[in-house]
Amino acid sequence: MKSLIAPISSLLAGVALLLLGHGLLNTLLTLRGVAEGYSTGMVGLLMSGYFAGFLIGTWLAPSLIRRIGHIRTFSFYASVAATAVLLHVMIVNPWVWLVLRVIYGIALVTLYMVIESWLNAQVSGEKRGQVFAVYMAVNLGALAAAQQLLGLDSPMEFTLFALATILIGSAMMPITLTRQPQPSLPDIPPTDLLQLARIAPLPLMAAGISGFVLGGFWGLAPVYASEIGFDAAGVGLLMSITILGGAVLQWPIGLFSDKHERRTVLLWVVALAAVLALAVAPLLAGSLLLGLMFVWGGLAFSIYSIAVAQMVDQLNPDEILSGSSGLLLANGFGAALGPVAAGGLMHLFGPIALPLFFATGLGVLAFYAFYRPRKVFDLVTEPHGHFTPILRTSPTVMELMPDTPEDATTQEPADESELDDMPPAEAPTDMRTGT
């Protein structure tokens, strides 16, 4: 393991520091916004601004990275992100914050893309799965640990904003000091959402609703926790417990989904998460709520990963990167809409609206998974794609996944004479339909 980690230790250190600052800021802004008297609808809009910036940055980042290189791009956007953090506390105005959240989202997805494309270039094919697992563990661990920093001071003070700035700025140090050569950024295949919706509609919808629900969680859970009786430290504890549930329970859920029919596993995971959200709705702050949120987090964070694994089963190898980008796009759109919807509902109905929002979104997905006619043709028959715990970061993270072929973007087309010999019913890719 040491020989695996040592060459990429600077990249892992950089992402750990970045996500400590990022995880702290996201929850901190929600608490500060509530303390400043912002409505839950406005808080939700602010969180949606971040996800909107994330989507915009997905298109802007590659050209800049190719033009000025990985290190300079990382340094530039880490400075942008750190500046945005300080401007939040210097100019306390919701509309200024909305602009800053969009800018911050653009910066964060670019920073993710730099690190993930660099990681992919540094590891060989047989080690990609191990590196991917370590990288996701660092992501979830840093996000969970960041929530515990909330107890250091009041959200109304400058201290926590300064700490988030320091952590994000410090992420530049291991990245700029690395001796690893800067890679070239590979091309991401174009995404055809209509074709993906026809071939793999259930994974696409699962990715979108997963983003919708978890976008509401990231944006409004701190407000919910504070309104049902948690103090600032308790808010951090609830967020950490839910994230840790997502980190711990994804593995057994994933192993189960590898051995059973994924559509059925997805249905049960989504249905159980919806039932747990209903059970949480009437509860106030306490250990029972924390325990239920731990399990809910494990289920909810698994949905996107199951969707990716099922998509891998339904696409040709040369379609996987494009399909993965499509799921990421659907998840991002859902995440941008989720906080606005959840915030508006909480503004009208109070904190109980958030778990009911979770239950409703997940219930719709469970209904779709149950009633959709099964017409799936799994193209990867031996071996099947494996479940891999994954977070929505940037399109380049998909290239680290062990089931994604390294040569997917350069794969040669089949010889035309071979296509002529194939039966018409089997040859056309556009005849596929799926769950």
Residue-wise pLDDT for 199-235, tens only, equals 888 888 999 999 999 999 999 999 999 999 999 889 9
pLDDT at 82 over 70: yes
410: confidence class by pLDDT, cuts 50, 70, 90: very low
Using CB atoms within 10 A of its CB, is residue 382 exposed (0-12), middle (13-18) or buried (19+)? exposed
d(CA 118, CA 13): 13
Q: Would you state the structure tokens that stand for residue 389, as one six-digit string?
A: 């715990």
432 pLDDT tier (thresholds 50, 70, 90): low
Residue 67 pLDDT class (50, 70, 90 cuts): confident
- The mean pLDDT of 398-411, rounded to a whole number, is 53
Residues 85-113 pLDDT 10s: 999 999 999 999 999 999 999 999 999 88
The type of residue at 42 is M
Termini Cα distance of the chain: 39
Mean residue pLDDT of the chain comes to 83
The hierarchical CATH code for the domain 9-179+193-405 is 1.20.1250.20
Q: Which amino acid is at 95?
A: W
Distance CA 80, CA 402 (A): 33
C-alpha distances (whole Å) from 315 to each of 2, 318, 320, 330 are 35, 8, 6, 17
Q: What are the structure tokens assigned to 180, written together?
A: 């690893």
The pLDDT score that the predictor gives to residue 404 is 57
| pLDDT mean over 305-334 | 78
Measured CA to CA, the distance from residue 417 to residue 427 in angstroms comes to: 12
Find where tokens 């035309």 sit.
416
- 246 Cβ partners below 8 Å, 6+ apart? 140, 297, 298, 300, 301, 302
Q: DSSP states of 206-240 as a string?
A: HHHHHHHHHHHHHHHHHHHHHHTT--HHHHHHHHH
Residue boundaries of the structural domains of the chain: 9-179+193-405
Q: How confident is the model at residue 29 (pLDDT cuts 50, 70, 90)?
A: very high
The residue among 411 and 291 whose pLDDT is bigger is: 291
Give the model confidence (pLDDT) of 233-284 as tens digits: 899 999 999 999 988 888 788 778 777 788 888 999 999 999 999 999 999 9
CA atoms within 13 A on the CB side of 403: 26
142 close to 15: Cβ distance less than 8 angstroms = yes
Cβ 8 vs Cβ 123: under 8 Å? yes
CA distance 116 to 211: 20
Residue 130 has pLDDT above 50, yes or no: yes
Cα–Cα distance list, 228 to 52, 87, 351 (Å): 29, 30, 7
**With contact defined as beta carbons under 8 Å apart, do 209 and 365 qualify?**
yes
Torsion, Cα of 160, 162, 167, 170 (10° steps): -170
**For residue 422, what pLDDT is reported?**
45
pLDDT of residue 418: 43
More confident residue, 416 or 187: 187
**At residue 412, does pLDDT exceed 90?**
no
Phi-psi region of 178 (alpha: psi -120 to 50; beta: other; left: phi over 0): beta
Q: What is the pLDDT of residue 243?
A: 93
The pLDDT value recorded for residue 391 is 67
- Of 51-60, 162-171, 412-421, least confident by mean pLDDT is 412-421
pLDDT computed for residue 127 by the predictor: 66
Q: What is the pTM of this model?
A: 0.84
At 141, list the tokens: 């661990």
Return the structure tokens found at 264: 């059925």
Range from 64-78, 123-137, 273-287, 363-377 that averages highest in pLDDT = 273-287
